[in-house]
Structure 1
Amino acid sequence: MAPYEVLYGRKCLTPLYWTELSEKQIHGVALVRETEEKVKVIRDCLKAASDRQKPYAYLKRKEIEFQIGAKVFLKVSPWKKILRFGRKGKLSPRFIGSYEVIERIGPVAYRLALPTELERIHDVCFMCRCCDDIVLIIHM
């Protein structure tokens, strides 16, 4: 008995099981054609689902433009903030900074002037606007 059958209690459904096998013989060309048709149907369904969900993903997305020399906060990934700052959960920082924009690379991509202790972080990444009134600098 295969490990999949032991774990799930049924046979693993590979592409061979997509066709109904009423005969003992499997004809190679017909099987390949049927499998390709099923793969095409699956791709079309995935494309339709992606097209249906895309407008909802872009509802809250904003393309904010920054000027060169502006101060911005840098978004920290969830795993890296645990490693760097030693805090997990609600108290760990989501954004660090403020850092100066050096160069505009793309429509929403900017290069930042990062300090030496953050040299291993990629300097082109997601950021948000820094309010000039509030000083929220986290020292490493």
Structure 2
Amino acid sequence: MGQSRRNSYVDVKRRDHEFDVDDWVYLKILHMKGVMRFCKKEKLSPCYVGPYQVLRWIGDVAYELDLASELSSVHPVFHLSLLKNCIRDPTSIVPL
């Protein structure tokens, strides 16, 4: 009884989302260890960075991203749970 109740709660929040090659996504860096926090205190650092382009699909839930130079020390393959869909056109974003 308890396990089926837990599964019903989890299924409500579960998202079955897949990205295609050449889609643009944001990368969640909140809990990544060893990633520079962009010269801000950890509490004020952004949760998501990007957008980055999806290069290829690996396995069922992993994607390889085209990372920028500030994340060159990080492996470019990420789990689906660390990615968020980019709704806007990434070419319209003006860098700071």
User: What TM-score, normalized to structure 2?
Assistant: 0.70
**Contact between 1:99 and 1:113, CA under 8 Å: does it hold in 2?**
yes
Please state how far the C-alpha of 1:92 moved relative to its aligned partner.
2.2
The answer to whether residue 87 in structure 2 is matched with residue 131 in structure 1 is yes
Q: Which has the higher helix share?
A: 1
Q: Secondary structure at the match of 1:53?
A: helix
Task: With a CA cutoff of 8 Å and minimum separation of 6, indicate the structure with the bigger relative contact order.
Answer: 2
Q: Between Structure 1 and Structure 2, which shows a larger proportion of strand residues?
A: 2
Aligned length: 90
- Percent of residue pairs bearing the same amino acid type: 34
* Deviations 1:63-83, CA, capped at 9 Å, x for gaps: 211110111100113364984
Larger radius of gyration between Structure 1 and Structure 2:
1
Structure 2, unmatched stretches of 5+, are none
**Aligned 8 A contact 1:71 1:100 in 2:** yes
CA contact (8 A) 1:64 1:108 kept: no
Aligned-partner Cα distance in 2 for 1:54–1:122: 32
Corresponding residue for residue 41 of structure 2: 87
Q: Choose which of 92, 99, 102 in structure 1 pairs with 2:52.
A: 99
Root-mean-square deviation (Å) = 2.8
Q: In 1, are the aligned partners of 2:23 and 2:53 still within 8 Å (CA)? A: yes
Distance in 2 separating the partners of 1:49 and 1:123 = 38
Q: Which letter maps to 2:93?
A: V
Question: Where does structure 1 lack aligned partners over 5 or more consecutive residues?
Answer: 1-47
DSSP-derived class of the 2:77 partner: coil
Alpha-carbon distance in structure 2 between the residues aligned to 1:119 and 1:82: 10
- Bigger shift: 79-88 or 105-114? 79-88
Q: Choose the corresponding residue for 1:67, options 20, 23, 29.
A: 20
Residue-by-residue CA offset, 1:74-126 (whole Å, 9 max, x unaligned): 0113364984222333x321110010100011233210011233122232222
| Large movers: runs of 4+ above 3 Å | 48-52, 78-83
Structure 2 partner of 1:122: 75
Letter of the aligned partner of 1:135 in structure 2?
I
